[in-house]
Amino acid sequence: MNTQAHFSANSAWRTELSKSWDVLGPFPIHAREQQFLSPSFPINISEPIDFTRSWPSSYADNGRVAWTKTQASPEGDLEVSFPNIRWSDLRATEGWAALQHHALLHTTLTLYPPTTGSNEAPPRLLVQLVQGAYIAIIPSGSEASLEPEWHAGNIYELPRTLPRVIELPTLPTTTSSTTYHVFVSGDYEIRLFGDPPLGTPIQVLKLTIDVEIPKDSAQLEPTQDVLPDFVDGYAFGNAIGLGVRNLGGRWTVTDAVLSSESTGFSVELLRPTTLAPSQTRIVPLRIVQTGKFTDTTLGINLTLTSPDTKKTLSLSAAFPVKHLPAWSAEKLSPITGTRFHAQEMPTAFTAFPPLLENTKDQQPQPPILCLHGAGVDITQSFWIDSLPLQQHSWLVAPSGLTSWGLDWHGPSANDAWGSVDAVVAIVNANPSWHARKLAEGPVVLLGHSNGGQGAWYLASRFPDRVLGLVPASAYIKSQAYVALLLSRSAHFIDPAVRAILESSLTPDDNDLFLSNLVDTPILAIHGGSDENVPVWHSREAVSVIKTWNAEANVTFQEDAGQRHWYPSVLKNNQVQAFLDGVLQTASSRRPRSKTFTLTVAIPAESGSLHGLKIERLSVPGRLGRLTVNVLPDNKLRVVTTNVDRFSIDASLWDDIESLRADSALLEFSPQLRSGVVSFQKEGRKGWKSEVPDQKAPAQASARIQSFLSTDAPFHLVVLDNSSSRDVSMALRIAHDLNAYHRLDAEIILGNEAFQDRLADSSATGNILIIGNTASPSLASLLGKQRTPFRSENNVLTFKDATFDEAGQGILFLHPHPHNATGQILFLLSTDASGLERAGRLFPIRTGVTVPDWLITSSRADETGAAGVLGAGVWGAGWSWNEAMSWLY
């Protein structure tokens, strides 16, 4: 048998992963459609598998495909391709969309027990699946009918991602070998794997499987550590993160101290950090510094306590410290800084100081916020070395939390703004750095590729925070990058349902928000022969802006013959001249057009334009717009579309005497001219002013993806801690949050423990509740009826529907008990298969079309989103929203 053998460092068990793979496919799907379909589509792997059978596929000649064979390399690399498919013919009519496809892959894993007697506990698996979508391991023989657990792979090939811990579905024998089936969902996405140079898409996956014996201990995971550079002896940031993995039992990090005393420098544990069995967390430490630190090594001792056994454990870490010299024109280099994301999550960014100090009479210059492309790791120098250094402006390059992040949306957008704020605070805190202070307030924004798309995104959602914009090689939105043409769901779904689902993509559609940039100076750049993001994307974005305002200050630079990346894309005279022009006028008020339109999808994720801000929509899920006309005689006219509340910073409109909003004339009294004035809709076209301190928070959602934007670490609550599958789901989601976004989560087992935590009003992080729809705990959790979901006699009900059939999965957002801007996400199911369906819809990646609430069924396994039983966007106050809801 061709196998790939692995041994574990702490176990005498041995694994053999067969190099022989069975492959079934290809089947057309669009990007992220695999979140709805069964990963084993078109078969049910809980049933006996007939490897001689064929299946319908529109990609194959004669319309059917059958199982084929392929071999993995000794290192575990597996190339999957279908050379018999006439890809060129498909592409000729359907473009890149035709190259996206799904395949099901199968091989076997064999475990061999120790050759000598051993009292070891049963092993578990350490699995690393790179560039694969999902993996499931199921027993062979009669026990194969168990519902499989699907674990997400590292499809982005994110660096520093730890292997996933997978419990064996059944215990292996200790007297002979035990064989398991391994299934992988192989999903080829153009955006991830690129345009195949020879025409045939080839997906290259890598799978390694090791074994580990659980033990009541924990270990350091240095790949997860976060540490700042030191400049002239001072830390560039206040955050340190230590990666710790739990090997068994429960452990809480209760203390952290330096290994040796240091005058003027210490660390403190930000909070006790509890790790569930097999979980990895990044322990947050705050730097406290009053003097220089010059040691070349930083040693930290952690103390861990088991809340169950009361045992203690010590872990010692030693970091090499990177020291940079005091700044001078000849001694400047990129700096790794650190900060706390969402209060308590250590994260890093890169910055480059200005080449020159500010003179005494010179005002600090705004920073330049630089967004990297997909897959770019800012710990490497590539990105910062590609940027034009500035005489008096800082370059700030955030990580986006990881090299892919969330496409600079949601938490990645928050990380970008937070990194700028961190540099301001770090430089302000050290008097010796004040000669290179940076201006607080708006930034100049640039980015390349996915970062160029992110630059369009941040600038158009927060136009008053951006002085100028340089998007390079940027795509407009995901559906325009690779069209959703070959959707399997589309053949079965009610178009009304599809419209509601796809409304969750609206907040990401940059072209819909370009009205907000008509008064922002823009230099859009694109290589004329870009093989990755077609040049028409930038051309079209410029065209859309010019449609909103023909006089808009936007320039398009098309570099003939250049491909997606070229060293001079941002380092050239035209970019520098543009930056100089924007920075020279940064201190003056930005010119505003006589007519402009503010467009918003999610008010809480959008800022103001010329001081006007939409705070609440009449029908959430639809666009809201304010069209503003500056009239003669110092009058302002505002026409609203789908707006329930808006505000205006009156201090920016000191030349205006009156404002007419639709049919209401609103006088500006002297008392209102000093700050922000809010207006609440009254009737169909009437408006009334609102006292600012009585305002409710801006609407926070129209999709479940907003759950990722948390104010503090997540709480993942398992209502029934006796359900191993529910606990597994919490561990899987915690792993994915860390791998894809470096977001932290505490797992809380049992409703009683959760109620104890709720008593702490400082617990402000978003909460995920995992449970069965028949759980008695739901009645109290939903008892206040903050949404239309409720539990009656241990049955989940919604409107006049009940959910107690096999295979159903339910997700819905709910208000947070302590945090007005926070959220609870309920992830409920009627059984194990329903839990798997709901869990795959947790929006770890962009493009997962899940609005505020969604109910799915077993039909989704074959028909994708057509298996949805209901979906919608909440109305005001978490109410039923008839216009944006569908229920079977």
What was the pLDDT predicted at 7?
Answer: 39
Question: Distance between CA 567 and CA 360 in Å, rounded?
Answer: 36
* DSSP-derived secondary structure for 453-500: HHHHHHHHHSGGGEEEEEEES--S-HHHHS--TT-SGGGTS-HHHHHH
User: Tell me, what amino acid is at 530?
Assistant: D
Question: Distance between CA 652 and CA 640 in Å, rounded?
Answer: 20
How much is the average pLDDT of 554-564? 98
- pLDDT of 670 above 80: no
Contact 99, 192 (CB under 8 A): no
Q: In what order do the strands lie in the sheet with 789-792?
A: 789-792, 795-798, 801-803
**Would you place residue 666 in the very low, low, confident or very high pLDDT band (cuts 50, 70, 90)?**
confident
Question: Distance between CA 812 and CA 785 in Å, rounded?
Answer: 13
Contact 772, 828 (CB under 8 A): yes
Question: Distance between CA 504 and CA 813 in Å, rounded?
Answer: 14
Reference 597, options 540, 655, 507, 513; nearest CA is 513
Residue given tokens 């992988």 in the structure block: 184
How much is the average pLDDT of 630-645? 94
Backbone angles phi, psi at 489, to 5 degrees: -55, -35
User: Tell me, what amino acid is at 790?
Assistant: R
**Would you place residue 11 in the very low, low, confident or very high pLDDT band (cuts 50, 70, 90)?**
confident
Question: Distance between CA 455 and CA 536 in Å, rounded?
Answer: 17
How much is the average pLDDT of 38-63? 96
Category of 489 on φ-ψ map: left (φ > 0), alpha (ψ -120 to 50) or beta: alpha
pLDDT in tens, 55-92: 999 999 999 999 999 999 988 899 999 999 999 999 99
Q: Indicate the range of 110-114, 440-444, 452-456, 753-757 predicted with least confidence.
A: 753-757
- pLDDT of 1 above 50: no
What was the pLDDT predicted at 329?
Answer: 83
What was the pLDDT predicted at 152?
Answer: 98
Tokens of 232: 């002239």
Question: Distance between CA 634 and CA 345 in Å, rounded?
Answer: 48
Q: How many residues does the chain have?
A: 888
How much is the average pLDDT of 6-18? 75
In this structure, the number of other CB atoms found within 10 A of the CB of residue 500 comes to 24
Residues 6+ apart with CB under 8 A from 269: 253, 254, 255, 256, 283, 284, 285
Question: Distance between CA 468 and CA 575 in Å, rounded?
Answer: 11
- Establish whether the linkage from the previous residue to 42 is cis, with ω within 30° of 0: yes
User: Any bridge partners for residue 749, and if so which?
Assistant: 718
How much is the average pLDDT of 883-887? 97
Judging by DSSP bridges, how do beta strands 124-130 and 54-56 pair with one another? unpaired
More confident residue, 144 or 61: 61
Question: Distance between CA 35 and CA 738 in Å, rounded?
Answer: 19
Distance of CA 625 to the CA centre of its chain: 27
**Would you place residue 6 in the very low, low, confident or very high pLDDT band (cuts 50, 70, 90)?**
very low
* Domains in the chain, CATH or no CATH each: 3-212 (no CATH), 215-324 (2.60.40.10), 327-584 (3.40.50.1820), 603-694 (no CATH), 704-887 (3.30.379.10)
How much is the average pLDDT of 595-613? 97
How much is the average pLDDT of 92-101? 95
In this structure, the number of other CB atoms found within 10 A of the CB of residue 398 comes to 33
Question: Distance between CA 824 and CA 767 in Å, rounded?
Answer: 5
Most confident listed range (588-592, 619-623, 684-688): 619-623
- Establish whether the linkage from the previous residue to 817 is cis, with ω within 30° of 0: no
What was the pLDDT predicted at 4?
Answer: 46
Radius of gyration, CA atoms only, the chain? 28
Cα–Cα separations (whole angstroms), residue 512 to 117, 460, 477, 500, 597: 67, 9, 10, 17, 11
**Would you place residue 692 in the very low, low, confident or very high pLDDT band (cuts 50, 70, 90)?**
low
Q: Considering the chain, what is the average pLDDT of its residues?
A: 94
% of the chain residues with pLDDT over 90: 86
Question: Distance between CA 618 and CA 628 in Å, rounded?
Answer: 19
Reference 76, options 128, 22, 111; nearest CA is 128
Judging by DSSP bridges, how do beta strands 265-269 and 239-246 pair with one another? unpaired
* DSSP-derived secondary structure for 535-551: THHHHHHHHHHHHH-TT
Residues 6+ apart with CB under 8 A from 793: none
pLDDT in tens, 382-433: 999 999 999 999 999 999 999 999 999 999 999 999 999 999 999 999 999 9
More confident residue, 247 or 261: 247
Tokens of 601: 């999808």
What was the pLDDT predicted at 117?
Answer: 67
In this structure, the number of other CB atoms found within 10 A of the CB of residue 830 comes to 23
Tokens of 543: 């065209």
Question: Distance between CA 589 and CA 533 in Å, rounded?
Answer: 35
- pLDDT of 237 above 60: yes
3-class SS at 658? strand
What does pTM read for this prediction? 0.96
Tokens of 508: 């990401």
Question: Distance between CA 381 and CA 639 in Å, rounded?
Answer: 48
Residues 6+ apart with CB under 8 A from 579: 368, 388, 390, 393, 444, 468, 470
**Would you place residue 669 in the very low, low, confident or very high pLDDT band (cuts 50, 70, 90)?**
low
What was the pLDDT predicted at 3?
Answer: 46
How much is the average pLDDT of 450-464? 98
* DSSP-derived secondary structure for 410-455: HHHHHHHHHHHHHHHHHHHH-GGGGGG-B-SS-EEEEEETHHHHHH
Q: What is the DSSP letter of 120?
A: P
Question: Distance between CA 801 and CA 805 in Å, rounded?
Answer: 11
How much is the average pLDDT of 548-566? 98
Question: Distance between CA 376 and CA 439 in Å, rounded?
Answer: 28
Question: Distance between CA 211 and CA 809 in Å, rounded?
Answer: 32
Question: Distance between CA 565 and CA 584 in Å, rounded?
Answer: 29
What was the pLDDT predicted at 672?
Answer: 61
Nearest-5° Cα angle at 871, 102 to 823 = 100
